[in-house]
Amino acid sequence: MNKEELLHLHMLLVLIRTYSRENFNDEILTERYDSLEISPSQIHKDKMAHKEALFTLGDEILSPIHRRKVPVIQYFHEITSIPVAAEH
């Protein structure tokens, strides 16, 4: 992944955090991310700094979701597959 793509993903995660705070009053704790002191607009920072910020923020956004234990819908390919005959 190139730096431009990392910056874009970094910005998207920041927007997700902001959207969640404003629309759901859902406080996502981002202490580790905030301690990195980097934002997507700081394009002068190196690629590895943005990569670390991206993964840290992503982890902090997902942590509350994992704690909620939201049921996961599983898709069983074998059950829903039906053999089909096709003509050539």
Q: Which amino acid is at 83?
A: P
The pTM is what?
0.71
Q: What is the CATH number of domain 3-68?
A: 1.20.1270.110
Mean pLDDT of the chain: 84
* Of 7, 1, 62, 2, residue with least CA distance to 30: 62
8-42 tens-digit pLDDT: 999 999 999 998 888 877 778 899 999 999 999 99
| Burial class of residue 53, CB neighbours in 10 A (0-12, 13-18, 19+) | buried
